[in-house]
């Protein structure tokens, strides 16, 4: 069960009414003993107020600019205390007790009742994901799989479902908060369930699960051009920052003297350090040790007439810098080609009726994906990635195809996994399912990860050709435009043929021009051999 304690300002010595200059945590954050909660500043120095216990921040009652004194209560902390659970003798407790045991219990159908935290599940490669909607409130009753909150990454929105049924005791997050895997969303008074019989019962003590620690930041490879500068110790000590900020900067290899502080009196905050690192690693700015890109001019457009300023969507804010980083760091080349799909389209029209009876919309993109599978198997280098040190290629034995899906919030890239093991009907069915989820903002993290090759098809909208940007760390992307009837010389006369424009953008460090044109030529032939594309259809 949960135990809530007051967060109290410890003995500050001779100081009283000390100003709060930074809030280091938010409601819902998981903290460990001695983690900094707030930073205060006297006329002599700044200091962090640490957490007295491990737990989850339930409430904070101070803001930047407030003053605090010894013994003042500034919030509440929810701790997890020991409880009892019932397990079968077949599941032996590990030597240390709780963590492995809980993982074993999670794999079973038995779920214990009582008060327990609601935590964010594994989000894959995503971290610090924004909460865009909260679906629960204290007192609400939820069932298993009911949505608790909606999160949005740079690629899509996703719901976090309830893993147990019960009554919501408290909600620890708000719209706009950032959460990661293991973050607490709230506390639920759960209803115990037991879908499998438990033959022989045995009670053991369940210790409070330790808060998940975030992995230590990895230093950038020496060969990476966008690396952080070496810390200048002499200047580092003169930066206006609190002890916890200095500690974070050292962990990340940031020279504080090069960070612009946005706090009071230009004080450097935690967010300033994180923004500095993110700007360098995503290519938004050049590392201070190297040269920077020239900036575009800043213009007041209102001088020329009426304007309407609209904010970028969240997807645009995050995907934009990533696309820019890919464009800057990868030497892009685009190979344009035409594929004769006359026979393919005739066969597709013939199969549309039977496909519809099976509940499948048989689109041209499904055939293009099937042809891409054959081309990637013929040219495995196009299905590879360059290693982090730039000295080797990672060849993937799987074929996961991403495709650009148009949504009201911007383009997202769902992934059809193991496309090489699926026929055209299965690919078409999954295309429709993932596209619908993307439009509704309901894609889950695994459905957006792991692509080894991406296809961007704009043929349904229009256009004759375009140059897609490689979705790094992939090394190539295929752009598909609208097909048109064109006169093609057959050796004796011109005949009308349905031609599909293809545009293969590729990383020239991995793929050269000869390989690229061989790939598009092979792909064109595969699209023309409709019988081979359909041979897996039962």
d(CA 52, CA 187): 21
| pLDDT at 146 exceeding the cut of 80 | yes
At a CB cut-off of 8 Å and minimum separation 6, what does 236 contact?
246, 249, 255, 256, 257
What is the per-residue pLDDT across 18-56, written as a single tens digit (0 to 9) for each? Answer: 888 888 888 988 888 888 899 888 766 677 888 888 889
- In this chain, the answer to whether the domains covering 2-80 and 88-206 adopt an identical fold is yes
75 with 8: CB under 8 angstroms? no
pLDDT score of 59 more than 80: yes
Lowest mean pLDDT among 438-452, 489-503, 507-521: 438-452
Q: What 3-state DSSP class applies to 256?
A: helix
Contact 149, 134 (CB under 8 A): yes
Tokens of 412: 């997202």
C-alpha distances in Å from residue 303, one per residue of 297, 309, 327: 15, 14, 32
* pLDDT at position 163: 87
**In this predicted structure, what is the pLDDT of residue 442?**
87
Q: Give CA–CA dist 235/269, Å, rounded.
A: 17
Q: Which two tokens stand for residue 49?
A: 């107020």
Task: For residue 234, name the pLDDT band (cuts at 50, 70, 90).
Answer: low
Q: How far apart are CA 476 and CA 453, in angstroms?
A: 7
Q: Give whichever of 28-37, 256-265, 331-340 has the largest mean pLDDT.
A: 331-340
More confident call, 91 vs 445? 445
pLDDT average, residue stretch 351-379: 94
Task: State the Cα angle at 89 between 88 and 92, rounded to 5°.
Answer: 105
Q: What is the rounded average pLDDT of the residues 223-228?
A: 44
pLDDT of amino acid 220: 43
More confident residue, 169 or 502: 502
Token couple for 330: 């990868």
332 noted as active-site residue: no
Q: Looking at domain 233-281, which CATH architecture does it have?
A: Irregular (4.10)
Fold exhibited by the domain 331-534: Chloramphenicol Acetyltransferase (3.30.559)
Choice among 27-31, 74-78, 203-207, 491-495 with the minimum mean pLDDT: 203-207
What average pLDDT does this structure show over 521-527?
A: 96
CATH of 88-206, one of 3.30.360.10, 2.40.50.180, 3.90.226.10, 2.40.50.100: 2.40.50.100
Residue 95: is its pLDDT beyond 50?
Answer: no
**pLDDT higher for 296 or 437?**
437
CA angle, corner 446, sides to 164 and 509, nearest 5? 160
Asked if residue 432 has pLDDT above 90, the reply is: yes
| Percent helix / strand / coil, the chain, rounded to 5 | 25, 30, 45
Question: Looking at residues 470-494, what average pLDDT do you find?
Answer: 95
Contacts of 270 (CB under 8 A, 6+ apart): 22, 24, 244, 245, 248
The answer on pLDDT for 298 being more than 50 is yes
Question: Residue 54: what pLDDT?
Answer: 87
More confident residue, 353 or 104: 353
Report which listed range, 17-26, 129-138, 298-307, 504-513, is most confident.
504-513
pLDDT at 205 > cutoff 50: no
Lowest mean pLDDT among 76-85, 112-121, 182-191, 520-529: 76-85
User: Parallel, antiparallel, or unpaired for β 401-403 and 415-416?
Assistant: antiparallel
Whether the per-residue pLDDT at 536 is higher than 60: the answer is: no
What mean pLDDT is reported for the chain?
81
Rounded to an integer, what distance in angstroms lies between the CA atom of residue 535 and that of residue 538? 8
Report how far residue 102's alpha carbon sits from residue 85's, in angstroms, rounded to the nearest whole number.
Answer: 10
Whether residue 437 is predicted with pLDDT greater than 80 in this model: the reply is yes
Q: What is the per-residue pLDDT for 297?
A: 82
3-class SS at 317? helix
Residues 6+ apart with CB under 8 A from 490: none
Handedness of CA 94, 99, 102, 107 (dihedral sign): negative
| Residue pair 420/370 in contact by the 8 Å Cβ criterion | no
Per-residue confidence band for 181, with pLDDT thresholds at 50, 70 and 90 = confident
Q: Which of 119, 108, 84, 110 is nearest to 98 (CA)?
A: 84
- Quote the pLDDT of residue 331: 93
CA distance linking residue 6 with residue 87, whole number of Å: 34
Domain ranges of the chain: 2-80, 88-206, 233-281, 331-534
The pLDDT score that the predictor gives to residue 293 is 60
Residue 537 has pLDDT above 50, yes or no: no
DSSP secondary structure, 440-500, as one string:
HT---GGGGS--SEEEEE-TTT--S---PPP-TTSSEEEEE---EEEEEE-SSSEEEEEEE
Contact (Cβ atoms closer than 8 angstroms) between residue 341 and residue 447:
no
Decide if pLDDT at 388 tops 90.
Answer: no
Q: Which of 101, 88, 111, 85 is nearest to 199 (CA)?
A: 88
What is the band of 316 on the pLDDT scale with cuts at 50, 70, 90? confident
Name the pLDDT band for 512 (thresholds 50, 70, 90): very high
- What is the per-residue pLDDT for 524? 96
Residue 418 is predicted with a pLDDT of 96
Residue 221 has pLDDT above 70, yes or no: no
Dig out the tokens for 109 from the structure: 């159908």
DSSP element (H, E) containing 19: strand 18-23
Average pLDDT over residues 381-410: 92
According to CATH, the topology of domain 2-80 is OB fold (Dihydrolipoamide Acetyltransferase, E2P) (2.40.50)
Per-residue model confidence (pLDDT) at position 287: 52
Is the bond preceding 473 in cis, omega lying within 30 degrees of 0?
A: yes
Which residues, including other chains, have CB under 8 Å from residue 339's CB and lie 6 or more apart?
499, 500, 502, 520, 523, 524, 527, 528
So what's the pLDDT on residue 122? Answer: 79
Check: CB of residue 172 under 8 Å from CB of residue 211: no
pLDDT score recorded for residue 31:
87
The model carries a pTM of: 0.54
User: Where is pLDDT greater, at 11 or 406?
Assistant: 406
Burial class (CB in 10 A: 0-12, 13-18, 19+), 513: exposed
Q: Which of 78, 82, 21, 87 is nearest to 48 (CA)?
A: 21
Q: Is the pLDDT reported for residue 97 higher than 50?
A: no
* Helix or strand holding residue 515 (H, E): helix 513-528
364 pLDDT higher than 80: yes
Among the listed residues 135, 240, 336, 508, the single catalytic one is 508
pLDDT at 237 over 60: yes
């Amino acid at each position: 069960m949960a135990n809530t304690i007051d967060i109290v300002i410890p003995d500050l010595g001779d100081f009283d009414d000390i100003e709060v200059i930074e809030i280091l945590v938010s409601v819902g954050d998981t903290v460990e003993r001695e983690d900094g909660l707030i930073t205060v500043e006297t006329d002599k120095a700044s200091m962090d107020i640490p957490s007295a216990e491990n737990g989850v921040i339930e409430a904070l009652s101070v803001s930047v600019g407030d003053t605090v004194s010894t013994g003042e209560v500034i919030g509440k902390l929810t701790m997890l205390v020991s409880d009892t659970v019932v397990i079968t003798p077949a599941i032996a407790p590990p030597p240390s007790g709780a963590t492995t045991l809980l993982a074993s219990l999670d794999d079973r159908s038995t779920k214990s009742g009582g008060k327990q935290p609601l935590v964010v599940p594994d989000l894959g490669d995503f971290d610090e994901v924004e909460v865009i909607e909260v679906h629960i409130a204290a007192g609400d009753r939820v069932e298993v799989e009911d949505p608790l909150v909606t999160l949005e990454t740079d690629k899509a929105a996703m719901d976090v479902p309830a893993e147990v049924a019960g009554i919501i005791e408290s909600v620890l997050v708000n719209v706009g908060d950032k959460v990661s895997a293991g973050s607490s969303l709230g506390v639920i008074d759960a209803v115990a369930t037991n879908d499998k019989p438990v033959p022989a019962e045995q009670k053991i003590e369940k210790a409070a699960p330790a808060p998940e620690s975030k992995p230590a930041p990895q230093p950038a490879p020496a060969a990476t051009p966008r690396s952080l500068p070496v810390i200048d110790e002499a200047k580092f000590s003169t930066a206006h920052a609190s002890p916890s900020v200095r500690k974070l900067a050292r962990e990340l290899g940031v020279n504080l003297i090069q960070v612009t502080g946005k706090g009071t009196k230009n004080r450097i905050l935690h967010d300033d350090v994180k923004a500095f690192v993110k700007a360098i690693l995503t290519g938004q700015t050049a590392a201070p040790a190297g040269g920077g890109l020239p900036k575009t001019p800043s213009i007041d457009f209102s001088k020329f007439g009426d304007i309407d300023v609209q904010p970028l969507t969240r997807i645009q804010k995050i995907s934009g810098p990533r696309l820019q980083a890919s464009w800057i760091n990868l030497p892009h080349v685009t190979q344009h080609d035409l594929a004769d799909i006359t026979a393919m389209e005739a066969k597709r029209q013939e199969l549309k009726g039977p496909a519809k009876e099976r509940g499948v919309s048989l689109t041209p993109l499904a055939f293009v994906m099937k042809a891409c599978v054959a081309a990637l198997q013929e040219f495995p280098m196009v299905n590879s990635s360059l290693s982090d040190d730039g000295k080797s290629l990672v060849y993937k034995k799987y074929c996961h195809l991403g495709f650009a899906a148009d949504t009201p919030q911007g383009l997202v890239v769902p992934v059809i996994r193991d496309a090489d093991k699926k026929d055209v009907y299965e690919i078409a069915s999954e295309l429709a399912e993932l596209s619908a989820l993307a439009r509704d903002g309901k894609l889950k993290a695994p459905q957006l990860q792991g692509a080894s090759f991406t296809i961007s098809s704009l043929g349904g909208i229009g256009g004759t050709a375009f140059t897609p940007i490689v979705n790094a760390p992939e090394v190539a992307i295929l752009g598909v435009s609208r097909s048109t009837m064109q006169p093609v010389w057959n050796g004796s006369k011109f005949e009308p043929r349905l031609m599909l424009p293809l545009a293969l953008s590729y990383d020239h460090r991995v793929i050269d021009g000869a390989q690229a044109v061989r790939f598009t030529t092979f792909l064109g032939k595969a699209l023309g051999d409709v019988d081979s594309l359909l041979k897996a259809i039962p």
